[in-house]
Amino acid sequence: MQIGENYKIEPPQPGNESYGYKIVDDLELIYPNLLVDLYQSVENNSFTTYPYGFYKNKILDSKELDLMKEFISELAGTEYHEILTEGINNIPTKDSLENSLEKINSLLEGGSDYAPDAYLFKFGNIGMDYNEALEEYNLMKTNGLDVAFTRYFSDYAGIFISLITWFLPLSVWLKDGKSGIINTIFVKSTGTIKLFLSRICAITVSILLVLILFYSYYEFKIVGTYGIENTNILKAYGLLIIWLIPNVLFCVSMSSLITIVTNNVITAIVGPLGTFITLLMSPKGIYGNYGWQLVLRHNTIGNEQYFLDHFNQLLLNRSVWLLIGVFICVLSIIALNKKREGYYAIKTSVSHKSRVKA
């Protein structure tokens, strides 16, 4: 329902009122706009923030306001009262800018447009003209129109699977709590690693297959509409898997670990709630945010050049979360092995003697 008809990727037409937006990582453009906005916010003593995903108008007291002016002067490299005349032209390095913005955002108690992981999407988001929109379209066409859609699909899919994937491992592991299963699976010679990995792989592959089937519906539409020569099927499916498998593995492994340790349905509450809170507190940039959060955002068909420029960051993010998922799997195997060695002999009414007979 969210995707709707947005899988259609049409070339721009001359004479349109708007040609969409793109994100540029250009401090010569970003810095003056940011500095003027920050200066005006100080003069009005009114700062728009979203500390927990909800709007808050932050007003500083006199000491905080003086400290804010010091931070801005440090950033601009000039006295506060000269910022609009002298400071705008003193373009800082990216590291220097983000160090100052870290202090400014902390003073505002987080969630501001000046946060190091948010300013780019506020002040680097600019409108395109016809030529820029045509160049963007041609770039998408060269790389594969279906790849452009894959990013958009993965944005929504990443959110939904990070909310609902918690429940499948929960149902699988809770079945081990039944006495009939305890008398068999916990005394079988099957190794814990084999038992755990077979289940995790089955769950993960099942979820990925469902995602691939959903995505394939749109893939067939795009190939049928634009021709196979304007698509890149292997790259599209490869990006889909790279993008989403860390989300699936993290949720599946964490759900398994919590359920194995607690042996109750707490995962059904903690998991989705944790994901929801993380989404609320994540950076506001949804048109190409490849920071360190679990759920990557690219809520637009376009923005191709930004995607290509930051592709290595995306791969690094996915690699880190994949390793975290693997590490949680290791912890889960250790917990499961301890459980098989004697946890149920103490915690349930099934006697050790009946387990031995089984």
pLDDT digits (tens, 9 = 90+) for 288-331: 788 888 999 898 888 899 999 999 999 999 999 999 999 999 99
The amino acid sitting at 55 is: Y
Q: What angle do CA 129, 134, 137 make, to 5 degrees?
A: 125
Q: What is the largest CA-CA distance in the chain?
A: 87
pLDDT, residue 327, reads 97
Report the pLDDT value the prediction gives residue 358, as an integer from 0 to 100. 42
Residues 282 and 290: their CA atoms lie apart, in Å, by: 11
pLDDT, residue 253, reads 96
The pTM of this model reads 0.81
Matching residue, tokens 């637009």? 300
Cβ(252)–Cβ(204) below 8 Å: yes
Q: Which pLDDT does position 284 carry in this prediction?
A: 67
Residue numbers in the chain where pLDDT is lower than 70: 1-2, 4-7, 53, 177-189, 283-284, 342-358
